[in-house]
Amino acid sequence: MIAARSPWQLFWRRFKDDKLALASLVFLVLVILIAIFAPLVVKILGAPNPDTPDQHALDPVFATATGPSSAHWFGVDQIGRDVFSRVIYGARISLLVAFSATVIATGFGVVMGLLAGYFRGWIDTLVSRTVDVLLAIPYLMLAIGLASACSIAIGTGAGGSTSNPGCLGGLIKPGLTVVIFVIAFTSWTYMARIIRGQVLSLREKEFIEAARAQGSSHLRIIFREILPNLTAPIVVYASILVPQVILYEAALSYLGVGVQPPTASWGQMISDATPTFTTAWWYMLFPGLALLFTVLAFNLVGDAMQDALNPRARKT
């Protein structure tokens, strides 16, 4: 007797056939583990503290940044901080922003899409017009405006200084909270549209009519009957949204309205390296490569997940 495979078993069987996506997944797991255990990784490898300048590591004549060496694998920046340690800690911040903003944007977008698609009427009109307005505003303009307004409201300026210690043991600081909120607020719209369209096609199905005939409440129908059938598009879009959020955070930090110094993020490091790029190329190169390979890996995994969950859409 042949045992029937569950949908997730079929998904994994199709996904692992894509060797490039599987390698990308292994790479992402490694990056995530490094980000989670960043202090331990830095300590084990004997790298300096990322926020502690080492004046002895600077050029003895011009007191400028120096390139890769046995003591500093990725070199040091213009004030003597170890670039390798900052790239490791930068992964922590970049991924924290990416996953936090993605979870918030996905959750809010799913709820809005469910309500709009199921109830229709004025709720659908309100959600749809809100989405249209937000999509009509250039993303960076909206994000910069929101980030600036929120920073002023909680008392963080260009230097990111504030008396608020943040939460999660100080890992999520007020300036970081602003970045997560701004990116989540500007990223939920596409999810809402996708879910709304899916709900519109599901709400008239026979099993939904049967649930109504049994006297099930609207909330039960939405969250017990419709939502489980939306797992595939939610997972696929969330996996695609993560690399977009990483790039959004890098762009905002580069423009000076994202993660504020001395907190290390890949975007902030690239911004800091811009004035000295011609003489200290390593300070931009290594965070840039980390950003490139991480975003590429997320995109490859997202594409493979989409193909595995929807095999009829796979390219022949």
- The helix/strand/coil state of 82 is strand
CA distance linking residue 75 with residue 26, whole number of Å? 27
Residue 57: which pLDDT band, with cuts at 50, 70 and 90? low
Q: Is residue 17 over pLDDT 60?
A: yes
* The overall pTM is greater than 0.75: yes
In tens, the pLDDT along 209-266 reads 888 888 888 888 888 889 988 888 898 889 889 999 999 888 888 887 877 777 888 8
Residue 115: which pLDDT band, with cuts at 50, 70 and 90? very high
pLDDT > 70: percent of the chain: 82
CA distance linking residue 33 with residue 35, whole number of Å? 5
Residue 98, amino acid:
A
In tens, the pLDDT along 152-186 reads 655 554 444 444 444 444 444 446 888 888 899 88
Among the residues of 120-138, which ranges form H helices? 121-136
Q: Which two tokens stand for residue 94?
A: 């970049």
The residues, any chain, with a CB within 8 Å of residue 111's CB and separated by 6 or more, are none
Element (H, E) at 231: helix 231-254
Domains of the chain in sequence order: 10-46+81-313 (1.10.3720.10)
Q: What proportions of the chain, in percent to the nearest 5, are helix, strand and coil?
A: 70, 0, 30
